[in-house]
Amino acid sequence: MRTFTIPAAVIAGALVLGLTACGSEKADAGGGGDKLVVGATPTPAGEVLAYVQKNLAKKAGLDLEVKEFTDYVLPNTALQQGELDANLFQHAPYLKDFNKSKGTTLTAVTEVYLPPLGFYSKKVEDIAKLRDGATVALPNDATNEARALELLASQGVIELKKGAGVNATPKDVVKNPKHLTFKELEAAQLPRSLDDVDVAAVNNNFALDAGLSPKKDAILLESVKDNPYNNVLAVKKGDEDDPRVRKLAKLLTSPEVRKFIEEKYQGSVLPV
């Protein structure tokens, strides 16, 4: 029987190649590797994460990558599919509704800030002075539509069916003294609708993207008091204790990030 000897260098090379391949696969997977890939809408989430990436992450030993999205669906589907490790753009009621309607298993890790939803108009300066039969544009996703209707109800513009809460739709309006017409639009389209409607409820990030100042331009703006719509850092269930996620959560709720939000947005976005 002949004996073949494989040089040690060849064995070592094979091991290195194998480990490199495994490492590459792990780094490319949504939940693996040292890099934390976080999805966000550009404003304010993307800007807050960019501040963390530039000023805080390296010192904390966190390799942070930010991927931007311009809608409210893809950041969650990408997170569920493992293309992201976390995301920042949504509030807890939206997350809960998304899980229920899409069958996803996403969960909140920490609250970060409140981007107050507001009503904007090019035709009136006071929500109480809406004309009879005015057209009101609302976000067409369930939780933000309810949020806008609740804000109108808080000012006595309409009255909602008792208990409608975060599931309210125009069908739950029981009193509409001004005979308002409600127009449901995708949230990203709402700033562009201002030329065509009397008033529109615009989510904070899309207002900022459109050059609107929630604090200065909104004719009606949410208050931070007892507000359930704080935006959260979210992950796929089971990843809450990922050390990278915990590092990011700590940074996002740090005094440095609070100061950045307060100085940059001047009350248009509120740190939690």
Whole-prediction pTM: 0.73
3-state secondary structure of 90: strand
pLDDT at 166: 83
Q: For 13-32, write each residue's pLDDT tens digit.
A: 433 333 333 333 333 434 44
- 180, 157 in Cβ contact below 8 A? yes
How is domain 28-116+228-271 classified at the CATH fold level? D-Maltodextrin-Binding Protein; domain 2 (3.40.190)
Q: Which helix (H) or strand (E) holds 145?
A: helix 142-154
What is the rounded distance in angstroms from the CA atom of residue 188 to the CA atom of residue 202? 8
Measured at the CA of 151, the angle between CA 147 and CA 156, to 5 degrees, comes to 140
Q: Which residues pair with 118 in a beta bridge?
A: 202, 221
pLDDT mean by block of 10 residues, the chain; 272 residues: 41 38 37 81 96 98 97 97 98 94 98 95 96 98 92 96 92 98 96 98 94 95 85 98 98 98 93 88
- Residues 122-131 have pLDDT tens digits of 999 999 999 9
Query: What's the gap between Cα 205 and its chain centre?
Result: 9
Sequence ranges of the chain with CATH classification 3.40.190.10: 28-116+228-271, 118-221
Rg (CA), the chain: 23
Size (the chain), residues: 272
Which residue shows structure tokens 């309607």? Answer: 101
Report residue 88: phi and psi, to 5°.
-140, 110
- Domain 118-221: CATH architecture, name and number where available: 3-Layer(aba) Sandwich (3.40)
